[in-house]
Structure 1
Amino acid sequence: MACVGLAWWQWQRFESATGSWQNLGYVLQWPLFGLFPGFMFWRLRKLRAQQRAEAAPRSAPAFESEPPPRPPQPTRQDEDDPELAAYNRYLAQLNAMDQETR
């Protein structure tokens, strides 16, 4: 309510002999200042509800319908390019080391 009163006061200043365009800017600005806390309250409630929904435990399925996808196997074409074959061997080593740490 105070912001509406301040906007009215700035409107009166704008219409007076000493008023300027800056006062008209304040007329438009004060209502926005008044609406902003309400908007932030609504937005924070919405974000908290979203966080609670994401944090709620979900029931896990009794079984998985599909196994995880397997990495692609090297093809004959990979063996034709020695640099690509060396890179694939390096990736296979990294995968083996990762599987050991799990």
Structure 2
Amino acid sequence: MHTPHSLLARNFPDVTIIVGHMGEVDYTIDDVKAAKKCENVMLETSWTSKTGIEYAAQEIGADRIIMDSDVPYGHPAIELKKIELLKIPEEEKALIRGMNLARILRLK
């Protein structure tokens, strides 16, 4: 599966690519499949269903997912609630809520 971000990720393997909206509802599965082939691709959660986030966590790992609210179009409380309701370990939820982004931005 080739997506625009996967082609970019292959051409710039040392750059972290963050895919907004996890590809949106119509493209979540395609974007997760593409991310499986490109270790430098991260997916963010805004406008993505809880089921889509769980699928991504199962397929590529929670360490490659970033919570985002897409303010002003979305709301942080909605994204936090989606993460809270995920059927994944609390440690993985913490990664998604902020630890992954802190790692990428080197905010340790």
Larger relative contact order (C-alpha < 8 A, sep ≥ 6)?
Answer: 2
TM over 0.5: no
Q: Which has the higher strand share?
A: 2
Rg comparison, structure with higher value = 1
Q: TM-score normalized by structure 2?
A: 0.22
